[in-house]
Amino acid sequence: MNKDLSKIIEQFVDFLMPELTPYEAAMYIFLLRSSHLKNSPEIHIGKRTIAEKWGTGARGKKTNYAHVTDLVKGLEKKGCIKIGDVNREGTLYKVLLPEEIPLVLEKLLIIPETGEEGYFTDPERRKELFERDKWICCYCGEKVTEKNATLDHFNPQSNGGKHTKDNLKTCCFICNAIKSGKTYEEAAPFLLKSIRERKQKS
Q: pLDDT at residue 3 above 50?
A: no
Q: Is the dihedral of CA 58, 158, 161, 76 positive or negative?
A: positive
> Once rounded to an integer, what is the mean pLDDT over residues 138-145?
94
CA of residue 24 relative to chain centroid, distance: 10
Name the pLDDT band for 1 (thresholds 50, 70, 90).
Answer: low
> Once rounded to an integer, what is the mean pLDDT over residues 180-195?
90
CA angle 104, 55, 88 (to 5 degrees): 80
Q: pLDDT at residue 2 above 60?
A: no
Name the pLDDT band for 156 (thresholds 50, 70, 90).
Answer: confident
Name the pLDDT band for 168 (thresholds 50, 70, 90).
Answer: very high
Name the pLDDT band for 44 (thresholds 50, 70, 90).
Answer: very high
Decide which of 31 and 109 is more confident.
31
- The confidence score (pLDDT) of residue 115 equals 58
How much is the pTM?
A: 0.59
Exposure on the CB side of residue 46, measured as CA atoms within 13 A: 9
Name the pLDDT band for 103 (thresholds 50, 70, 90).
Answer: confident
Rounded Cα distance between 133 and 60, Å, is 39
Q: pLDDT at residue 164 above 80?
A: yes
Q: Is the dihedral of CA 159, 161, 166, 169 positive or negative?
A: positive
Percent of the chain predicted with pLDDT > 90? 48
Q: How many CB atoms lie within 10 A of CB 146?
A: 10
Domains of the chain, CATH where assigned: 2-100 (1.10.10.10), 113-201 (1.10.30)
CA of residue 128 relative to chain centroid, distance: 23
- Residue pair 119/164 in contact by the 8 Å Cβ criterion: yes
Single-letter amino acid code for the residue at 73: K
- The confidence score (pLDDT) of residue 154 equals 92
Rounded Cα distance between 15 and 110, Å, is 12
Q: pLDDT at residue 134 above 60?
A: yes
Rounded Cα distance between 88 and 107, Å, is 38
